Amino acid sequence: MVDKKNRLTTSSGAPVGDNQNSITAGRRGPTLIQDVHLLEKLAHFDRERIPERVVHAKGAGAHGYFEVTNDEISKYTKADFLSEKGKRTPMFIRFSTVAGEAGSADTVRDPRGFAVKFYTEEGNYDLVGNNTPIFFIRDAIKFPDFIHTQKRNPQTHLKDKNMVWDFWSLSPESLHQVTYLHGDRGIPATYRHMNGYGSHTYKWVNEDGEKFWIKYHFVSDQGVKGLDEKVADELAGTNPDYHTEDLFNAIDKGDYPSWTLYVQVMPYEDAKTYKWDPFDVTKTWSKKDYPRIEVGKMVLNRNPENYFAEVEQAAFSPAHFVPGVEASPDKMLQGRLFSYSDTHRYRLGVNHEQIPVNRPVNETNNYQRDGYMRVDGNGGSKYNYEPNSYDHLPKEDESTKIEPFEIEGVADSMPYSHADHYTQAGDLYRLMSDEGKERLVNAVVGHLGQCTMEEVKLRQIGHFYKADPDYGERVAKGLGLEVPAEVKA
Ligand code: HDE
């Protein structure tokens, strides 16, 4: 007799008598359909996979906390979780690569996702960023095409450098991020040795209704370190889970990684006149113009108990704001406000917010009901409509409305008015040491060299040249080509 507490059961709780031998008619079978434990076991196994994330499919997660270290930050935002020095908020983070599938190698050259969920007392605040302060494109309408070029060729099912560089060379706004990606930060040493950025501009609103534009920077307390491309390539073969393993082991042995959060704060009116469009995610703001202000510290101190439950089912969304933090008009951010919760409804279902890792710590209270996998009591006997005459039913709180803001212009499909894609990419190049430039050029040549379309290579060389003639000349030389005369003219 097995202790009752330790008994193997079916999912309806009935004890299982034999988990090694199916019930057969005679010793040789066939198998009887009345072996309901066998049927349930196979049927559940058949449904174990859910759709992987369409991007950022490979990742690792951890729990931790965020603690405010600067009392002054409430000058800029009324966000409750940032209201006072010493305030701690539990959080969960997921790091990821972008283009690879769920089982792909960690050490590839790719941006890394840096998705943070703060479980605040006023609901979850998700800051879904990357380890790069910029992005390849600046309008959500281009994202599905861009990602198609990063994924697999529709016929060969191979990664396709022609698709990648064709798209990039025809989308010069990508040049800044292409340069960043092929530099030393393109392959982080570990998830612990990289910074995180909100990338977009967000809006903060304080208690007096004053508005500010802000950018988030999580600076790694472990330092920023890259991985040599050769070592990274080798690791992709010998230990494709290198970064996942590193994060788990560090936390497991009590070596808790941490990041210091800073913000750049831009006075609201400056957005009209700043030399860069502050809502263009392909550009940064100068730290001289808007110095970083410390906000607090994020510490990761607990590994997930179960990968699928906590990491695979984690659902981050840039649409998860809290009072005091609002969207900016950034056209990429605006698209993301739709896309994430939409993909979660597909991947995890309409009630995905009830999965423990996604559940806010405060009580949710609304008139939404029913749907697949509603597991929280569904509002019980409470009425499910509004307006109503009952004081005990949920009421809107006007004090949490967004801060009104003015808009201008005509509605149309329009590009951004700033079209200089070269200055900041060139500045980044010029900031690199001689060896850094050498590694960048080698990485570009190694990658672009696999593109077989000469017109694409020449077009892309033209972009590098316009960022910095030395950059263009060196890439051209590496590829055995000349910078096109019309670019030099
Ligand atoms: Fe994402 N992105 N993205 N993205 N993204 C997703 O959401 C999308 C963008 C980022 O660890 C998806 O849950 C659109 C920028 C991270 O679970 C999807 C656009 C930045 C993660 C999606 C962008 C990111 C995602 C896929 C252009 C950095 C992983 C599965 C408008 C600032 C989150 C999912 C995690 C994941 C859409 C661009 C970061 C499809 C439409 C820019 C870290 O919703």
Which domain, by its residues, includes 345?
A: 59-138+186-358
Domain end call among 358, 388, 406: 358
Query: Residue 93 Cα, ligand 1 centroid: separation in angstroms?
Result: 14
pLDDT of residue 1: 85
| Same domain (yes/no): 242, 310 | yes
Which atom of ligand 1 sits closest to the CA of residue 332?
A: 31
Q: Is 132 in the pocket of ligand 1 (CB under 6 A)?
A: no
- The answer to the question of whether 340 is labelled as a binding residue is yes
Q: Are residues 433 and 352 in the same domain?
A: no
In a domain, 389, yes or no: no
Burial 374-404 (b: 16+ CB within 10 A, else e): eeeeebeeeeeeeeeeeeebeeeeeeeeeee
In this structure, are 220 and 293 located in the same domain? yes
The answer to the question of residue 151 being in a domain is no
Read off the pLDDT of residues 367-420 as tens digits, 9 standing for 90 and up: 999 999 999 999 999 999 999 999 999 999 999 999 999 999 999 999 999 999
Residue 143 near ligand 1, beta carbon < 6 Å? yes
Quick one: 442 and 345 in the same domain? Answer: no
How far apart are the CA of 200 and the centre of ligand 1, in A? 12
The tokens for 465 are: 């040249």
Residue in 110, 117, 339 to alter for ligand 1 test, most ligand atoms within 8 A of Cβ: 339
Name the residue of 50, 52, 56, 312 whose CB sits within 8 Å of the most ligand 1 atoms, as the mutation to test its pocket.
Answer: 56
Ligand 1 atom at shortest distance from the alpha carbon of 115: 43
Q: Give residues with Cβ within 8 angstroms of 484, minimum separation 6.
A: 458, 461, 462
Of 318, 340, 358, the domain-final residue: 358
Q: What is the mean pLDDT of residues 135-151?
A: 98
Q: Mind listing the pLDDT tens digit for each residue in 49-99?
A: 999 999 999 999 999 999 999 999 999 999 999 999 999 999 999 999 999
**End residue of a domain, out of 309, 332, 358:** 358
The residues with which 123 forms a beta bridge, in sequence order, are 120
**CB distance 136 to ligand 1 below 6 Å:** no
| C-beta of 128 in contact with ligand 1 (< 6 A) | yes
Task: List, for residues 263-316, the tens digit of each pLDDT value.
Answer: 999 999 999 999 999 999 999 999 999 999 999 999 999 999 999 999 999 999
Q: What is the pLDDT of residues 184-223, one digit of tens each?
A: 999 999 999 999 999 999 999 999 999 999 999 999 999 9
Residue minimizing CA distance to atom 24 of ligand 1? 129
Q: Is residue 324 in a domain? A: yes
Q: Provide the pLDDT confidence category of residue 343 given band limits of 50, 70 and 90.
A: very high
Tokens of 296: 């607090």
With a 6 Å cutoff on the Cβ, whether 54 touches ligand 1 is: yes
Residue 461 has pLDDT above 90, yes or no: yes
Q: Is 320 in the pocket of ligand 1 (CB under 6 A)?
A: no
Q: What is the per-residue pLDDT for 407?
A: 94
Tokens at 92, concatenated: 């969960």
Average pLDDT over residues 153-166: 98
Asked if residue 67 and residue 14 are part of one domain, the reply reads no
Q: In 149-228, which ranges are E strands?
A: 196-197, 202-205, 211-220
Catalytic residue IDs: 56, 130
- How far, in Å, from the CA of 336 to the mean position of ligand 1? 7
Tokens encoding 269: 């009116």
Ligand 1 touching residue 257 (CB < 6 A): no
Ligand 1 contact, 100 CB (< 6 A): no
Q: How far is the CA of 218 from the centre of ligand 1 (A)?
A: 18
Q: Are 200 and 280 in a shared domain?
A: yes
- Domain membership of residue 197 (yes or no) is yes
Mutate to test the pocket of ligand 1, among 199, 312, 336 (most ligand atoms within 8 A of CB): 336
Identify whether 329 is part of a domain: yes
CATH number of the domain within which 454 lies:
1.20.1370.20
Residue 383 lies in a domain: no
Spacing, Cα 339 to ligand 1 middle (Å): 8
Q: What CATH number should be reported for the domain holding residue 7? A: 4.10.91.20
Pair 315, 427 in one domain: no
Task: Let me know whether 226 and 299 are in one domain.
Answer: yes
pLDDT band, very low/low/confident/very high, at 237 (cuts 50, 70, 90): very high
Say if ligand 1 is within 6 A of residue 127 CB. Answer: no
Residue whose CA is closest, atom 20 of ligand 1?
A: 129
Q: Are residues 63 and 4 in the same domain?
A: no
For residue 489, is pLDDT > 90?
A: no
CA of 455 to the centre of ligand 1 (A): 31
Taking residues 123-131, report their average pLDDT: 98
Return the sign of the alpha-carbon dihedral for residues 315, 317, 322, 324.
positive
Residue 81 belongs to some domain of the structure: yes
pLDDT for 382 equals: 97
| 297 in the same domain as 439 | no
Whether residues 475 and 348 fall in one domain: no
| High-pLDDT (> 90) share of the chain, % | 99
d(CA 124, CA 317): 10
**Cα 36 to ligand 1 centroid, rounded to whole Å:** 41
Task: Specify the number of domains making up the chain.
Answer: 3
Whether residue 144 is contained in a domain is answered as: no
Diameter over CA atoms, the chain: 88
Query: Do residues 109 and 34 both lie within one domain?
Result: no
- What are the b/e assignments for 168-188, b being 16+ CB within 10 Å? bbebbbbbbbbbbbbbbbbbb
User: Candidates 50, 52, 53, 94: which one to mutate for ligand 1, based on the most atoms within 8 Å of Cβ?
Assistant: 53
3-state secondary structure (DSSP) of residue 406: coil
**Where residue 74 sits, what CATH number does that domain have?**
2.40.180.10
Q: What is the residue-averaged pLDDT of the chain? A: 97
- Beta carbon of 56 within 6 Å of any ligand 1 atom: yes
For ligand 1, atom 6, name the residue with the nearest CA.
55
pLDDT value for 266: 98
CB < 8 Å & 24+ apart, contacts of 265-272: 265/76, 265/204, 265/212, 265/213, 265/214, 265/290, 265/293, 266/201, 266/212, 266/213, 266/214, 266/290, 267/212, 267/213, 268/210, 268/211, 268/212, 268/213, 270/213, 271/213
Q: What are the residues whose beta carbons fall under 8 Å from the beta carbon of 244, sequence distance 6 or more?
A: 59, 60, 106
